[in-house]
Amino acid sequence: MEFIADFHIHSKYSRATSRDMDTQHIAEWAKSKGITLMGTGDFTHHLWLEELKANLEDLGNGLFKYKDVYFILTVEISSIYSKKGKTYRIHNVIFSPSFKTTDKINAKLSQRGNLASDGRPILGLDAAELARIVFDIDENCMIVCGHIWTPWFSVFGSMSGFDRIEDCFDEQTPKIFALETGLSSDPAMNWRLSALDKYTLISNSDSHSPSKIGREANVFDCDLDYKTIRDVLKTKDKKRFLYTIEFFPEEGKYHFDGHRLCGVRFSPKETRQNNNRCPKCGKPVTVGVMNRVEQLADRPEGFVPTNSIPYKNLIPLQEIIAEAKGVAPASVSVKRDYHSLVAKFGTEFDILLKASEEELRRGLPVRVAEGVLRVRKGKVNIKPGFDGEYGKISIFGEEDKQEKSEQQLSLF
pLDDT in tens, 76-135: 999 999 999 999 999 999 999 999 999 999 999 999 999 999 999 999 999 999 999 999
Residue 400 — very low, low, confident or very high, per pLDDT cuts 50/70/90? Answer: low
**What distances in angstroms separate CA 122 from CA 15, 148, 268, 312, one per listed residue?**
12, 17, 31, 33
Q: Are 37 and 70 a contacting pair, CB within 8 Å?
A: yes
* pLDDT, position 405: 46
Determine whether domain 2-251 maps to CATH 3.20.20.140: yes
Alpha carbon distance 10, 120 (integer Å): 8
* pLDDT, position 410: 41
SS3 165: helix
* pLDDT, position 94: 99
Q: Are 17 and 49 a contacting pair, CB within 8 Å?
A: no
* pLDDT, position 401: 57
pLDDT in tens, 19-38: 999 999 999 999 999 999 99
3-state helix, strand, coil in the chain (%, to 5): 35, 20, 45
Q: Where along the chain do the CATH 3.20.20.140 domains lie?
A: 2-251
Region 224-234: mean pLDDT is 99
Closest CA to 148 of 138, 139, 158: 158
Residue 305: is its pLDDT beyond 70? yes
* pLDDT, position 409: 41
Q: Are 191 and 255 a contacting pair, CB within 8 Å?
A: no
* pLDDT, position 399: 55
Residue 406 — very low, low, confident or very high, per pLDDT cuts 50/70/90? Answer: very low
Closest CA to 334 of 380, 365, 300, 370: 365
Alpha carbon distance 179, 93 (integer Å): 9
Alpha carbon distance 102, 162 (integer Å): 28
Report the percent of the chain where pLDDT is more than 70.
Answer: 96
* pLDDT, position 141: 99
Closest CA to 318 of 339, 301, 302, 300: 339
What pTM did the predictor assign?
A: 0.95
| Exposure letters 341-360 (e unless 16+ CB within 10 A, then b) | bbeebebbbbbbbebeeeeb
Alpha carbon distance 27, 31 (integer Å): 6
Q: State the chain's mean pLDDT as an integer.
A: 96
Q: Helices 332-345 and 317-325: crossing angle, nearest 10°? A: 120
The residue type of 324 is A
Residue 397 — very low, low, confident or very high, per pLDDT cuts 50/70/90? Answer: confident
Alpha carbon distance 92, 179 (integer Å): 9
Residue 407: is its pLDDT beyond 60? no
